């Protein structure tokens, strides 16, 4: 019966945000209550009589929870002010790009976005444009917790960052996936001269690609190391904090150094083969063990530990 109701009479249902049109009746395990618009009574009457149903008129109160964010903002903002809708999420942070016309109402806008998105704990808006060498933005907290640090999950990989100290764009995720899938092969070496906090480097490492990852921004370098250790790819990614030109000169110098060529190679895991008896898996390395492989953070210029990294 409910399927028939939904199919035949759906245009007349009272469809409102965060509101169930098919509801349980207290103490009745068989019947359900279906909520229609008041003006649909005449259209419903033949269906109700034919199926021996009961039509009851009730007043229903709706509140803030039944409004979409855009609807709530339409009620708050003056008619001449365009309602902001889009935002980017970075972990628990919602990042808005409010225009000048929105700024007198920024705290009200921030509160609506905060209350309408349960997973969001902080709402920010950009202030000004990119000016710094490290391509960072100035932000203002307009609702929620006063924090800029977050953990972004990209395709199952946790990536730590401070959105006010590093450049980040979630919309580049698909492009990173495309590059890793179409251009890189296992056991090749990628030189990432402007790696940021390491999303490309870590995705490549997870695909079996070795990476020399560099960024000029010390804060990017800090979070790059943290993300390498968190995702347990320290055997595959070597971090640097250098100007890209100096980085490339260093890498080329290292690859022609006889001492580097003579170093013992890193043992990379062999691919699994069917029918081969598997030994007991080793426990995964801890964060501290992964961090130790990279050496002290203050060094900033790493050595290449094995000749697997020499061809890139």
- Average pLDDT per 10 consecutive residues for the chain, totaling 312 residues: 64 86 85 87 84 86 89 92 89 93 95 94 86 82 96 96 93 94 90 96 95 95 97 94 92 65 46 55 87 88 68 70
Give the DSSP H or E segment for 183. helix 173-183
Q: Following DSSP, what letter does each residue of 30-97 receive, concatenated?
A: EEEEE-B-GGGHHHHHHHHHHTT-----------GGGS-HHHHHHHHS-TTSPPP---EEETTEEEE-
Q: Give which of 68, 311, 65, 281 is closest to 185, Cα–Cα.
A: 311
- List Cβ neighbours of 214 (8 Å cut-off, separation of 6 or more): 191, 192, 193, 194, 195, 239, 240, 241, 242, 244, 247
- Give the Cα separation of 299 and 251 in Å (integer): 15
Give the DSSP H or E segment for 221. helix 218-230
Phi and psi for 105 in degrees, rounded to 5? -115, 20
What does pTM read for this prediction?
Answer: 0.78
State in words which class domain 186-263+285-309 has.
Answer: alpha beta
**Pair of tokens at residue 171:** 């919309």
Q: What is the CATH topology of the domain spanning 67-147?
A: GMP Synthetase; Chain A, domain 3 (3.30.300)
Report the pLDDT value the prediction gives residue 5, as an integer from 0 to 100.
61
Report the pLDDT value the prediction gives residue 308, as an integer from 0 to 100.
56
Q: Are 214 and 242 in contact (CB under 8 A)?
A: yes
Q: Give which of 191, 207, 218, 195 is closest to 304, Cα–Cα.
A: 191
Report the pLDDT value the prediction gives residue 6, as an integer from 0 to 100.
56
- Give the Cα separation of 77 and 112 in Å (integer): 12
Domain ranges of the chain: 7-64, 67-147, 186-263+285-309
Report the pLDDT value the prediction gives residue 263, as an integer from 0 to 100.
44
């Amino acid at each position: 019966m409910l399927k028939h109701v939904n199919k035949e009479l759906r245009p007349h249902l009272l469809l409102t945000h965060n509101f169930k049109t098919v509801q349980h009746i207290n103490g009745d395990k068989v019947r359900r209550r279906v909520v229609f618009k008041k003006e649909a009574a005449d259209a419903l009457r033949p269906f109700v009589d034919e199926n021996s149903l009961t039509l009851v008129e009730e007043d229903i109160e709706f509140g803030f929870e039944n409004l979409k964010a855009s609807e709530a903002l339409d009620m708050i903002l003056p008619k001449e002010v365009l309602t902001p809708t889009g935002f980017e999420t970075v972990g628990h942070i919602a990042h808005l790009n409010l225009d000048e016309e929105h700024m007198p109402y920024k705290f009200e806008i921030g509160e609506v976005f905060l209350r309408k998105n349960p997973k969001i704990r902080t709402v920010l808006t950009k202030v000004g444009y990119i000016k710094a060498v490290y391509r960072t933005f100035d932000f203002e907290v307009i609702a929620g917790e006063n924090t800029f640090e977050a953990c972004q999950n990209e395709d199952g990989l946790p990536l730590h960052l401070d959105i006010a100290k590093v450049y980040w764009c979630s919309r580049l995720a698909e492009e990173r996936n495309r590059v890793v899938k179409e251009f890189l092969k296992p056991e090749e070496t990628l030189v990432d001269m402007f790696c940021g906090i390491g999303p490309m480097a870590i995705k490549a490492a997870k695909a079996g690609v070795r990476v020399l990852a560099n960024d000029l921004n010390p804060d990017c370098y800090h979070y790059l190391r943290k993300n390498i250790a968190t995702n347990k790819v320290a055997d595959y990614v070597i971090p640097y904090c250098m100007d890209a030109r100096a980085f490339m000169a260093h890498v080329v110098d290292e690859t022609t150094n006889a001492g580097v060529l003579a170093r013992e190679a890193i043992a990379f895991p062999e691919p699994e083969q069917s029918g081969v008896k598997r030994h007991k898996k080793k426990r995964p390395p801890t964060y501290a063990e992964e961090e130790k492989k990279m050496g002290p953070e203050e060094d900033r210029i790493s050595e290449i530990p094995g000749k697997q990294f020499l061809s890139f």
